[in-house]
Structure 1
């Protein structure tokens, strides 16, 4: 699965919000904590807000926060807002001996989709991602 830089940045930004104490988090703090270019982040946060995933407030005490608890937001929710609904892909099959490859790609897409719908932002914030082994030496 290839993900765009925009999607990876969006996932990092919402993970930062999921781990933050309740209340607005300034965009500048998210950008610094996740090493995301600020102008790029502003566009991503706007897209996530328009997609219904974030609330925002302006002003000196403003910032962004999740619209729902992190336990209720999956990685698939974020990816769908940023990337849109995935296309069905090539289901026409391949000729001859390569025919079974179409089934492999289909199973792979199904697995990716299932994994993204099972992992929540709370899992990411806690560092307890189901089905993923922690890196050697801890987090």
Structure 2
């Protein structure tokens, strides 16, 4: 799986907003989001617009304006953020995994694609911004990351 820069930046920005929500610090400007994680401001503006369209963030205008989470950090999953900026978690040539069909030797491949999507969902939809912020990750995620083989490139 390739995690796009767009998705990575969105998650990092959302973690700043989650921290701000936890501290009751109020809205955070795009400039501050950009500065705190060294993200390109113009690119981040487009990303934040996508997050707003997905109802994950809300905006406040004015001198003290900026962005804040639309829900509590524990109620926003990484999967929500991924989908908001990059669309479905898994696609095969523009099709959803369950929409694929093959003949002959590849007949059972759609089952693998569906399982892959389910695997992504089990990590991304069960991990909230609050989990990442605190480092108290879901047991399944911690167990997967604890496997030394998970850290090796192949």
Q: Same fold (TM over 0.5)?
A: yes
- The superposition leaves residues 68-89 of structure 1 with CA deviations (integer Å, 9 ceiling, x where unpaired) of 1001111111112112245413
CA distance in 2, matches of 1:92, 1:99: 7
Normalising by structure 1, we get a TM-score of 0.83
Report the equivalent of 2:57. 54
Structure showing the higher helix proportion among its residues: 2
Determine which structure has greater relative contact order: mean sequence separation of CA pairs < 8 Å that are 6+ residues apart, divided by chain length: 1
- The count of aligned residue pairs is 134
Deviates more, 1:85-94 or 1:48-57: 85-94
Deviates more, 1:49-58 or 1:101-110: 101-110
Q: Is the 8 Å Cα contact of residues 76 and 113 (structure 1) preserved in structure 2?
A: yes
Instruction: Provide the aligned C-alpha RMSD in A.
Output: 2.2
Normalising by structure 2, we get a TM-score of 0.76
Unaligned runs of 5+ in 2: 90-94, 147-154
SS of the equivalent of 1:118 reads coil
Report the equivalent of 1:137. none
Unaligned runs of 5+ in 1: 135-139
CA distance in 1, matches of 2:58, 2:135: 24
Q: Is the 8 Å Cα contact of residues 101 and 107 (structure 2) preserved in structure 1?
A: no
Structure 1 runs (4+) deviating above 2 angstroms are 84-87, 93-96, 98-106
- The superposition leaves residues 82-109 of structure 1 with CA deviations (integer Å, 9 ceiling, x where unpaired) of 122454136324633x555543332122
- The superposition leaves residues 6-50 of structure 1 with CA deviations (integer Å, 9 ceiling, x where unpaired) of 111111110111112221112111111111100111111111112
Q: Is the 8 Å Cα contact of residues 94 and 102 (structure 1) preserved in structure 2?
A: no
Q: Is the 8 Å Cα contact of residues 94 and 101 (structure 1) preserved in structure 2?
A: no
